[in-house]
């Protein structure tokens, strides 16, 4: 059998070689003809059989078409609306100057925040020197945090004279403060527990500690270094002062620790670049909002109310692109320029504010990598404590998810004073979307997962914005205004 097969294979090989010989000879004869042959058997590059796959030029093509499309939209917009950019209007909006000028409630609320900050520090100091019992301290902290988060809600709802921008700044500021203080309290609790355990151990069994120390393989040099280092490193109760707390409150992180990594010096050139980016980026965002987003939203109002699907989709897509560009610039100037600027000024060492979310192949990865300060906070102060308390991982994940959805809603609904739950719904929608994206990633490959992430980012936001704007106008100006705006 095997020999026969071998023979067959041999004969086949022979015949192939023979055929190739004839072919080669054929070509030789053909090329020796006087008609200067210029054709040879070949496949077209687009045919699968050609195995050609270098289409890098089409990447340049895509970016070029995108630029051309943007320039055209820019021109179309200027022809249609003229120049709408008005720096004065922005000064009015930010300062609330034209709203009747009843003081600056936003500034007052921000200044007031020193009260809960001081309260928090005082309670910690009391706990450290054991003037306040653990339970009383924790209750005070919780009340302090709840008041902190409810205060802007109530003040913005009750008091007149808040404009949208002022209210947004206040809610963002209080959200960040809430997360930072939570971290501060929790880290101090960890330290206090460890400190007390150490002290009680020291008191009860000094001999044991000495024994333990001698058993360690520490040379003289390293114990000398240890002594030096222990002086440089801040230990528990020494950190409880205003200087340390304000450094943390200003630092571009939500996770407190006693000894932040620090850089050696402030790089002047780096600082200048970041300042320029923040200033220029903010201007570009303001221009985009005035020139593109506001007209698009206003124009979307009528089709959106009438549930005209074709026109609504067209408006949604028209809104999607400037809105997405605004978001991208916002991301860059906040997470790169601004945080690096603050980090450089404070000589804060850890600049890992974002990961490569643009390559994310599923929704989970995107949410884990686009906002690292929040992600790190959620992991360290919510997920891990819950898991360590004995709950399941799903429980931990859902807690993080709900807190996140709550704060998204908080930062949008409170300034708009419309207690609809579009942002919350949007966050909840991430769950089925994530399942879908995971399925697509597994079925069609990582590239399609990435495309779904980008799609949700590009199309999800403008949908929420249109819904909120629609509700805002209907609630605050009544149906009559809908018709008036329709004429624009």
Residues annotated as part of the active site: 408
- Under the criterion CB under 8 A, does residue 56 sit at the interface with a second copy? yes
Q: Considering only residues 436, 454, 472, 485, which one is a binding residue for a second copy as defined by CB under 8 A?
A: 454
194 near a second copy, judged by CB under 8 A: yes
Alpha-carbon span 306 to 308, nearest angstrom: 5
**Could you tell me the smallest distance in angstroms from the CB atom of residue 358 to a second copy?**
4
| Shortest reach from residue 234's CB to a second copy, in Å | 9
Burial 333-365 (b: 16+ CB within 10 A, else e): bbbbbbbbbebbebebebeebbbebeebbbbbb
Number of residues binding to a second copy, judged by CB under 8 A: 101
38 is an interface residue for a second copy by CB under 8 A:
yes
Contacts of residue 357, defined as CB under 8 A and 6 or more positions apart, other chains included, come to 365, 366, 369, 370
Q: Residue 316: which of 465, 479, 429 has the closest Cα?
A: 465
155 vs 333, which CB is nearer to a second copy?
Answer: 333
β partners of residue 262: 348
Closer to a second copy by CB, 83 or 115: give it. 83
The angle subtended at Cα 13 by Cα 8 and Cα 17, nearest 5°, is: 150
Q: Candidates 98-106, 121-129, 143-151, 253-261 — which segment interacts with a second copy by CB under 8 A?
A: 253-261
- Comparison of 3 and 231: residue with beta carbon closer to a second copy: 231
Site track 314-333 with a second copy (rule: CB under 8 A), x = hit:
x--xx-xx--x-------x-
Site for a second copy in 208-247 (CB under 8 A): 222, 225-226, 229-230, 232-233, 235-236
Q: Quote the distance between the C-alpha of residue 398 and its chain's center.
A: 19
Look up residue 357 and give its DSSP letter. G
The window from 6-14, 70-78, 124-132, 147-155 that contacts a second copy (CB under 8 A) reads 70-78
Nearer to a second copy, 415 or 462 (CB): 462
**Among positions 121, 187, 374, 423, the unique one binding a second copy when judged by CB under 8 A:** 187
Residue 58 touches a second copy, criterion: CB under 8 A:
yes
**Is the distance from CB of 163 to CB of 99 less than 8 angstroms?**
yes
User: b/e string for 54-85 if b means 16 or more Cβ within 10 A?
Assistant: eeeeeeeeeeeeeeeeeeeeeeebeeeeeeee
Closest separation in Å from C-beta 296 to a second copy: 11
DSSP letters along 104-152, please? Answer: -HHHHHHHHTHHHHHHHHHHHHHHHTTSS-HHHHHHHHHHHHHHHHHHH
Q: Find the helix packing angle between 164-204 and 393-416, rounded to 10°.
A: 140
Nearer to a second copy, 187 or 245 (CB): 187
Q: Does 134 bind a second copy (CB under 8 A)?
A: no
Long-range contacts of 176-179 (CB under 8 A, 24+ apart): 176/254, 177/113, 177/116, 177/117, 177/148, 177/249, 178/145, 178/148, 178/149, 179/254, 179/374, 179/377, 179/381
Residues 339 and 250 sit within 8 Å (Cβ to Cβ) = no
- Would you say 102 and 163 are in contact if contact means Cβ atoms under 8 Å apart? no
Among 1, 4, 5, 36, binds a second copy (CB under 8 A): 36
Which one of 376, 408, 417, 420 is in contact with a second copy (CB under 8 A)?
376
**Which residue in 45, 85, 108, 115 binds a second copy (CB under 8 A)?**
45
351 vs 417 by CB, closer to a second copy: 351
For the chain, report the end-to-end CA distance as a whole number of angstroms: 88
Kindly state the smallest distance separating residue 97's Cβ from a second copy, in Å.
34
> Tokens 């004073």 — which residue?
417
Span from 38-46, 113-121, 173-181, 478-486 in contact with a second copy (CB under 8 A): 38-46
Residue of 8, 14, 15, 37 interacting with a second copy (CB under 8 A): 37
Listed ranges 109-117, 205-213, 305-313, 477-485: which one lies at the site for a second copy (CB under 8 A):
305-313
Contact flag: residue 272 with a second copy (CB under 8 A): no
Name the strand (E) or helix (H) holding 16.
Answer: helix 2-31
Widest Cα–Cα separation across the chain: 109
Q: Is residue 445 a contact residue for a second copy (CB under 8 A)?
A: no
Site membership for a second copy, residue 169 (CB under 8 A): no
Nearer to a second copy, 233 or 279 (CB): 233
Instruction: Using the minimum distance from each CB to a second copy, give the nearer residue, 3 or 243.
Output: 243
Specify whether the CB–CB gap between 152 and 170 falls below 8 A. yes
Measure the CA–CA gap between 209 and 215, rounded to whole angstroms. Answer: 10
Please pick, from the candidates 17, 47, 204, 425, the single residue that binds a second copy as defined by CB under 8 A: 47
Q: Does 71 interact with a second copy (rule: CB under 8 A)?
A: yes
Mask of contacts with a second copy, 395-434, x by CB under 8 A? Answer: ----------------------------------------
CB-based contacts of 263: which residues, under 8 Å, 6+ apart? Answer: 344, 347, 348, 349
- Tell which positions 344-363 bind a second copy, by CB under 8 A: 349-360
Nearer to a second copy, 94 or 459 (CB): 459
Using the contact rule CB under 8 A, the part of the chain among 120-128, 158-166, 192-200, 470-478 near a second copy is 192-200
């Amino acid at each position: 059998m095997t020999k026969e097969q071998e023979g067959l294979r041999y004969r086949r090989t022979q015949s192939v070689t023979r055929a190739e010989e004839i072919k080669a000879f054929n070509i030789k004869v053909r090329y020796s003809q006087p008609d200067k042959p210029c054709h040879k058997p070949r496949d077209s590059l687009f045919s699968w059989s050609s195995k050609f796959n270098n289409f890098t030029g089409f990447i340049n093509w895509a970016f070029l078409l995108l630029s051309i499309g943007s320039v055209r939209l820019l021109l179309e917009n200027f022809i249609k609306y003229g120049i709408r950019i008005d720096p004065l209007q922005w000064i009015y909006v930010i300062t609330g100057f034209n709203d009747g000028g009843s003081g600056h409630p936003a500034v007052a609320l921000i200044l007031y925040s020193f009260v809960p900050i001081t309260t928090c520090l005082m309670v910690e100091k009391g706990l450290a020197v054991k003037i306040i019992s653990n339970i009383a301290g924790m209750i005070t902290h919780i009340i302090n945090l709840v008041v902190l988060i409810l205060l802007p809600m109530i003040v913005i709802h009750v008091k007149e004279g808040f404009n949208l921008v002022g209210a947004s700044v206040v809610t963002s500021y209080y959200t960040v403060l809430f997360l930072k203080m939570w971290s501060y309290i929790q880290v101090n609790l960890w330290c206090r527990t460890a400190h007390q355990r150490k002290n009680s151990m020291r008191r009860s069994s000094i001999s044991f500690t000495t024994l333990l120390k001698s058993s360690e393989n520490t040379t003289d040099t390293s114990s000398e270094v240890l002594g030096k280092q222990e002086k440089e490193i801040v230990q528990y109760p020494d950190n409880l002062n205003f200087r340390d707390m304000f450094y943390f409150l200003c630092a571009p992180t939500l996770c407190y620790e006693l000894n932040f990594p620090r850089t050696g010096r402030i790089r002047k050139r780096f600082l200048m670049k970041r300042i320029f980016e923040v200033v220029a980026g903010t201007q570009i965002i303001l221009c985009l909002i005035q020139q593109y987003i506001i007209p698009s939203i206003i124009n979307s109002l009528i089709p959106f109310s009438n549930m005209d699907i074709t026109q609504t989709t067209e408006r949604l897509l028209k809104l999607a692109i400037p809105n997405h560009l605004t978001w991208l610039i916002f991301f860059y100037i906040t997470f790169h320029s601004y945080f690096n600027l603050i980090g450089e000024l404070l000589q804060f060492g850890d600049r890992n504010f974002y990961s490569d979310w643009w390559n994310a192949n599923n929704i989970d990865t995107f949410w884990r990598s686009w906002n690292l300060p929040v992600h790190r906070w959620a992991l360290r102060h919510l997920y891990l404590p819950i898991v360590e308390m004995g709950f399941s991982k799903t429980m931990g994940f859902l807690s993080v998810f709900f807190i996140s959805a709550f704060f998204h809603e908080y930062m949008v609904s409170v300034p708009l004073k419309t207690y609809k739950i579009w942002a919350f719904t949007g966050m909840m929608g991430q769950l089925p979307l994530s399942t879908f994206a995971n399925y697509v990633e597994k079925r069609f490959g990582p590239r399609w997962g990435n495309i779904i992430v980008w799609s949700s980012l590009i199309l999800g936001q403008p949908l929420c914005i249109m819904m909120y704007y629609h509700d805002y106008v209907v609630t605050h100006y009544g149906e009559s205004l809908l018709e008036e705006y329709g004429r624009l």
